[in-house]
Every structure is written in C-alpha cells, then in structure tokens.
Amino acid sequence: MAATSSSLSVFALRLGPGQELLSSLQAFVEEKQLKAPFIITCVGSVTKATLRLANATADNTNQVIQRQERFEIVSLVGTLNPEAHLHICLADKEGRTIGGHVLGDLEVFTTAEVILGEATDLNFTREMDSRTGFPELVIQKRQEQT
C-alpha cells in the first residue's frame, strides 16, 4: 500500500428535482477539468436507482438491481475520474437500507447537496487489474506545468 498526499480544492453543488446524479457529477468534473475528484459528502433524495450488488464479479456482473421509489441518500462515496467508482447507501420510507456500486439512473427527488474534493497534486485513472477483473484506481503525481 502506497499513500500519496496532496493539496485540496473543494466544490459545493446542489442538484435539483429530476436531475440524474451520476451524469451531472461527471459533467461537472469534465467542465472543470478535474483530474483527481472524489465525493466528500452528499445528502439528498432520489426517486430511483440502478446498483450493482456486492456479490458481482468480473465473470458475473449481472448482479444488478433497479429500484423506483423515494429514497434518502444516507451515504455516497467514491472517485469521479472518467470511469467513476461510486458506492451509495439509500434508505426507504421504513428506514431500511440498500446499497451498492452506482451504475446510474439516480434521479434526484427534492435535492442532492454534494461536496466534491479534488486532490490538486494528483491524477486519478483506472487500469484493468488482472487480480480483480475490474478497472481499478491508479494514483499518480501530476506532472509540473512548465
């Protein structure tokens, strides 16, 4: 395990009813040309979600659920490089939770208040890892601009 430190920039966004959370965040990252973005925190609600469950493997990626009901976002974490890797935990009207890897289709119900961070000295990419069968995070120091 290698750890790399970096300076931090912080961005605050508020998404409104009907916006799709993942694609909205990816558009913001692209617009701002962020190289090492990640979720610091998020609160809000959605009316539907498409998630890949924890028992999915590289050979069995069809462990996907689609839900269409009102949920509170109780946690959203991950990185937002071009191949975003986000996990979400949602609570239903009874307080029961469901979570998994975000595939998209997260339609905002009332609001999504998102605080993003960017490690300003780093660059996040993804490369296929033969051990896991998935594209995994690669962390690199940014090259100095001359």
CATH number of the domain residue 72 falls in: 3.30.1330.80
Domain count of the fold of the chain = 1
In a domain, 74, yes or no: yes
In a domain, 4, yes or no: no
Q: What does the pLDDT read at residue 1?
A: 64
Q: What does the pLDDT read at residue 22?
A: 96
In a domain, 88, yes or no: yes
In a domain, 63, yes or no: yes
Domain span at 36: 10-141
**pTM score, whole prediction:** 0.87
Q: What does the pLDDT read at residue 62?
A: 66
Q: What is the pLDDT along the chain (146 residues), one digit of tens a residue?
A: 667 788 999 999 999 999 999 999 999 999 999 999 999 999 999 999 999 888 765 566 668 889 999 999 999 999 998 789 999 999 999 999 999 999 989 999 999 999 999 999 999 999 999 988 888 999 999 986 55
In a domain, 31, yes or no: yes
Angle CA 108–110–114, to nearest 5: 65
In a domain, 60, yes or no: yes
The H-assigned helical ranges of the chain are 21-32
In a domain, 96, yes or no: yes
In a domain, 78, yes or no: yes
Q: What does the pLDDT read at residue 87?
A: 96
Q: What does the pLDDT read at residue 120?
A: 94
Rounded to whole angstroms, the Cα distance separating 27 from 36 reads 14
**Cα distances (angstroms) measured from residue 34 to each of 16, 40, 110, 124:** 22, 15, 27, 9
